[in-house]
Amino acid sequence: MNVRQEARQGTVIDGTTRVAGVIGDPVAHTLSPPMHNAAFASQGLGWVYVPFRVAPEHLGEAVRAVRALNLAGLNVTIPHKVAVLEYLDELDESARLIGAVNTIVNKGGRLIGYNTDGAGFLRSLRSDAGTEPRGRSLLLVGAGGAARAIGVQLVLEGASRVDVANRTYEKAKDLAQHLTQGAGGQSRAYALDELTPQVLRGYDVIVHTTSWGMAPQADVPPLISSDALSPDTLVCDIVYTPRETTLLRAAKAQGCRVLEGLGMLVHQAALAYELWTGQRAPVDVMYSVLETKLAERETD
């Protein structure tokens, strides 16, 4: 029996089953349960992953239930990533600097908060694009939660500079200041209209971190001018529906290497899996499940 055949058999629930899950509101759209459950099954683990819809007013009760029910841990999604911090016992360095948590690990009743978003992007950067961030200059397009997570992780792992461009300059300035003063990196802020060809060609890697270009608004023009891109620049987009965004298509036309967003989605989940189970995640299984589920959504 091969890995994917085993993964399709599902999990038998009994008195020894470990439970993990995701809390958010809403959670009906999440692809995490099929991805994690297939991963557990592929490695023969007696684990199950369940989505829990938790309204903001019940967040504290939900987190306390992790201890009471002896859950292995949780993923945390919108709108709880920041609010959940006050209910945790400890934060790892990335989560503390980012100011948001997407993964909780229950270590003997002590709840530890992690943020695997930025680390997931970096793992994809290394494994899918063959690019090491240390010593590189990067530009983040966008200044929201994803940009903050990626920016902090890039600084922690040795990027030479991580600049920020955003439609609202003040938000770019705030994030650049945090990356400099809070995380100890080098960062400058730009408004989008300041991204001249000369500026854009000064980066080794450009990372688009907003939802701009995500389906169903997939045909919008990129936020940055593709004509200004250097073929030496790696262009990344964290959007994964569609797999090839207008930005990535335009960057390819300029001769750039590109990195799509599905890898970040898989690797941030894989890191959570590893924190819970202590085992290396079966990334190939997780990729396969996500690709299948996304293809099904496109045909619905």
Residue boundaries of the structural domains of the chain: 3-115+263-299, 118-260
State both tokens at 210. 């907003």
Separation of alpha carbons 126 and 87, rounded Å? 33
Angle between helices 262-277 and 283-299 (to 10 degrees): 130
Half-sphere exposure in the Cβ direction for 203 (13 Å, CA): 27
Q: What is the mean pLDDT of residues 59-86?
A: 98
Q: What is the structure's pLDDT at 154?
A: 98
Confidence check: pLDDT of 55 > 50:
yes
Share of the chain above pLDDT 70, in %: 96
Q: CATH topology for 118-260?
A: Rossmann fold (3.40.50)
Q: What is the structure's pLDDT at 11?
A: 61
Confidence check: pLDDT of 203 > 90:
yes
Higher per-residue pLDDT: 215 or 62: 62
Residue environment code for 276-300, b if the CB has 16+ CB neighbours within 10 A, otherwise e: bbeeebbbebbbbbbeeebeeeeee
Q: What is the mean pLDDT of residues 113-132?
A: 98
Specify the pTM.
Answer: 0.92
Would you give the DSSP letter of residue 244? S
Domains 3-115+263-299 and 118-260 share a fold: yes
156, 183 contact by CB (below 8 A): yes
Confidence check: pLDDT of 131 > 90:
yes
- Active-site annotation holder among 81, 107, 252, 293: 81
Q: What is the structure's pLDDT at 300?
A: 65
Separation of alpha carbons 186 and 168, rounded Å? 20
CATH number for 3-115+263-299 (one of 3.40.720.10, 6.10.140.120, 3.40.50.10860, 3.90.550.60): it is 3.40.50.10860
Q: What is the structure's pLDDT at 10?
A: 53
* Known catalytic membership, residue 81: yes
